[in-house]
Amino acid sequence: MRVFKIISTLVIFLFFYNIGEVLSKTLVFKDAYNRDISITVPVKRACLLATYQLIPALKIKSQVVAIGKWAYDDPIMQSTITELDKIPAPGVGGPGLNVELLKKLNVDLVVTFRVPLEELNFLKSIGINTFAIYPNSVENLKETIKWHSIIFEKEKEGQAVLYEMEKILKIIEKRTSKIPENKRKKVVWLHSDLTSVAGGTGIINDTLLKISAINPAASIFPKSTIAKTSLETLTKLNPDIIFIWGAALFEPSDLTNNPQWKNIKAVREGKVYKLKALTTFSPKHVIDMLYMAIKVYPEYFKDINFKKIANEFYYKVFGIPFSNKFL
């Protein structure tokens, strides 16, 4: 499923003439729920609940008047946005948004992740325009970034970001595409608790495929993004590597120090890693992918200086040096 699709760049036009130049227009896009959403571009007063890292990447601070609450703890936001705490946060993106604040800020558009449809319908009913995104693949993530560059009229900046992302993806592909099927590692992604895993759909599964890893949980939960399983099943899957979602309330030590997990190869060999700052709504996801690929296949990345590559990427995309706190 494509995250969005431009229905037509000629659907509706709102013309404002200045010496014959068109200053704004209305475009129609399909969001993650396949809803047709009309957006007047450039968006001048946006609320970004999930994609706030695109503020420094696309240089759109002057066009964003509200952000998701999680942005306050985001290390990239803290490093790039001055007076971050002064940007209002109406919530985190799901039910319970501060509608009065959104109205007060006169927001043109709220960009959120895939929250319950009834929440979006409620916001629409009170005159708040919303657009739901849900990148379910790396390609969808690139489309989402391109969409942001269109609605904010920052196509040049968007192209530059996508170019840097492609460079990283090519580094990964050049090495992992050479790995024979019989030498590919089994990798499990643990989500919000110790026995919730990434299934066979979604951007995490796509990420594992793109680094030439095998997601053994995909065969059990082929139609699930995240699925609940059991320690017994995880033991049978016996992954070589385990990655943990950054927002999970447990650490690698909760596995490695627990005798019940010792029958799993990844735990026994200490190959359990937590990506504390991972987000699948940001260009930085490709750097997280490179980090993961190196952890899974260090022998194929011996010529790669991860910190040097990450540093160059962060300077070009976010205007800051790379730090381990961004992983």
* pLDDT tens-digit series, residues 181-225: 999 999 999 999 999 999 999 999 999 999 999 999 999 999 999
Q: What is the pLDDT of residues 142-189, one digit of tens each?
A: 999 999 999 999 999 999 999 999 999 999 999 999 899 999 999 999
Report, in this order, helix, strand and coil percent for the chain, each rounded to 5. 40, 20, 40
pTM above 0.85, yes or no: yes
- Name the residue ranges covered by the structural domains of the chain: 5-134, 161-326
**Number of C-beta neighbours around residue 56 at 10 A:** 18
**Number of C-beta neighbours around residue 174 at 10 A:** 10
Residues near 173 by Cβ (< 8 Å), separated by ≥ 6?
A: 210
Q: To which residue do tokens 């790669």 refer? A: 304
Both structure tokens of 29:
């896009």
Residue 8's H or E segment, with its range, is strand 5-12
Q: 7 pLDDT band (50/70/90 cuts)? A: very low
- Residue 103 has, within 13 A of its CA and on its CB side, a CA count of 8
Q: Between 3.40.50.1980, 3.40.50.2300, 1.25.40.20, 1.10.10.10, what CATH number should domain 5-134 receive?
A: 3.40.50.1980
Domain 161-326 CATH superfamily? Nitrogenase molybdenum iron protein domain (3.40.50.1980)
Alpha-carbon span 223 to 202, nearest angstrom: 9
pLDDT of residue 23: 64
Q: Which residue, among 202, 210, 207, has the nearest Cα to 136 in the 3D structure? A: 202
Same CATH topology for 5-134 and 161-326? yes
pLDDT of residue 31: 96
Alpha-carbon span 237 to 215, nearest angstrom: 9
